[in-house]
Every structure is written in C-alpha cells, then in structure tokens.
C-alpha cells in the first residue's frame, strides 16, 4: 500500500530569524542529489492549514526558459532558493508556515498496456516547509522545524512490482538517492535531529532496508 514519505528536521535553539538560512540550505541541497537548482513556488500559510495563504508566488519549472526583458537573454524558469526564501519570509511571524516546492527526479515505472512498460526518470514536486513556533499549535514539535514532503513512497518500494534485474536496479538507485539527499540536507542545514517517516506510522527505515535487500538480491 502506497504511503506518503516525510523527512522532519530539528535544530537546537532555532530562532525564527534563522529560518531563512536553514530553508535555503535545505532547498540548495536538492541540486546535488537528483533535484533542481531552482524553486518552483513559495506559499505562506497563516495560523493553520485551514486558513487561506497570505502569499503565493509561482516561479515555474526549471526546464525551459523565459525572456529577460532587460538583458534580452533567456533565463531559466524558477527562483534561486535564497531569492524565494527571502521573498516569502518578508512576512515573518511566529504563527506562519513557509512552504516551497522544488523538483526532484526519480525512476518511475510506467505501464501503457499489458505488454508495454518502461522505466523513466520523472520529476516530482517536493514540498519543503518551515514552521513558525506557534503555527498550528506548535506543529513543529512533531513535524520538525522544517519538514520535507517527498510524496508517495512507491518509487522506493514498488511493492506491487516483481523485482527483475532492471526493476531492482532502479529501485536501488531511488533508495540510494533518497539516503544521500537526506544526509546532504542534514549536513548542509546543520540539523541535530532528523526523522524519515511515513504517514501510516509504519517502520519506514525497516521497509526501505528490506526492499533494498530484496532488490539487491534480485539484481544478482
């Protein structure tokens, strides 16, 4: 059964004024681990998730380009992490949450018919959210000062797919990319505690380890 995958990060004595540097570091880590270098969007949520956003900016995807009216040259779509974070955090409040979307590519299994299936690297939008200490009644205590929402965990497990040598290799690459990104984010942002967890509350680390072991065994 597909589940939603999260990474929660905590920082010692984090003050709200320091959130900008932490968010920029987390977003900046994606480019070195299968992700994009630019941010797709930024949204600011007041008080709780039930409230409408007070700020939202769609910068677009990194693929493609837009004309630069000043220089007369084409510039990549999206915003640099520092720019997106600074714009969103101009509205700095203890009870706000700051959400950013950034692209991250994984191997995905596609089936067009009974005899037509293939593996392709597909970009997905990952959500990176920084929580003010009073947002949603102190949600950061459980969710982390910063939470990364990776979306469905299917690419890391493929529990409904028979792992032949090709499938095993792609699942293994996805898992390794996840592990490396998680470590990269922790190091770049200076997190002192992290938790990779699933929405259903199952032991995600154990599921990933078992699936990786199975994929390695199938690939031999």
**How does pLDDT run across 50-62, given as a tens digit for each residue?**
999 999 999 986 4
- Residue 87, C-beta contacts closer than 8 angstroms, at least 6 positions apart: 42, 55, 57, 79
Least confident of 84-93, 114-123, 182-191: 114-123
Is 138 inside a domain boundary?
A: yes
Mean predicted lDDT score pLDDT of the chain: 87
What is the helix (H) or strand (E) element at residue 84, kind and residue range? helix 81-88
- The CA distances from residue 92 to 47, 58, 97, 137, in Å, are 12, 19, 9, 17
pLDDT confidence band for 215 (50 / 70 / 90): low
**Number of structural domains, the chain?**
1
Is 163 inside a domain boundary?
A: yes
**How does pLDDT run across 68-114, given as a tens digit for each residue?**
444 455 566 899 999 999 999 999 999 999 999 999 999 998 886 66
Domain containing residue 154: 9-219
CA–CA–CA angle 116, 119, 124 (5° rounding): 125
pLDDT confidence band for 66 (50 / 70 / 90): very low
User: What does 96-107 look like in DSSP terms, one character per residue?
Assistant: EEEEEEEEEEEE
SS3 206: helix
Is 3 inside a domain boundary?
A: no
Specify whether the CB–CB gap between 157 and 204 falls below 8 A: no
Is 2 inside a domain boundary?
A: no
* 205 vs 174: which has the higher pLDDT: 174
């Amino acid at each position: 059964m597909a589940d939603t995958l999260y990474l929660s990060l905590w920082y010692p004595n984090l003050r709200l004024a320091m959130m900008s540097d932490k968010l920029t570091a987390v977003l900046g880590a994606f480019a070195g681990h299968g992700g994009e270098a630019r941010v797709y969007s930024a949204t600011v949520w007041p008080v709780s998730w039930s409230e409408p956003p007070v700020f939202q900016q769609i910068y677009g995807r990194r693929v493609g380009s837009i004309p630069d009216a000043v220089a007369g040259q084409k510039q990549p779509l999206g915003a640099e992490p520092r720019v997106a974070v600074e714009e969103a955090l101009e509205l700095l409040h203890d009870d706000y949450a700051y959400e950013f979307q950034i692209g991250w590519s994984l191997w995905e299994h596609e089936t067009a018919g009974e005899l037509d299936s293939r593996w392709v690297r597909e970009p997905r939008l990952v959500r990176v959210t920084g929580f003010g200490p009073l947002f949603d009644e102190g949600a950061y205590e459980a969710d982390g000062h910063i939470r990364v929402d990776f979306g469905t965990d299917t690419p890391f497990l493929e529990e409904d797919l028979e792992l032949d040598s090709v499938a095993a290799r792609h699942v293994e690459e996805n898992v390794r990319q996840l592990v490396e990104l998680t470590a990269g984010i922790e190091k770049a942002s200076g997190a002192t505690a992290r938790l990779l967890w699933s929405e259903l509350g199952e032991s995600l680390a154990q599921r990933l380890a078992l699936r990786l072991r199975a994929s390695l065994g199938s690939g031999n």
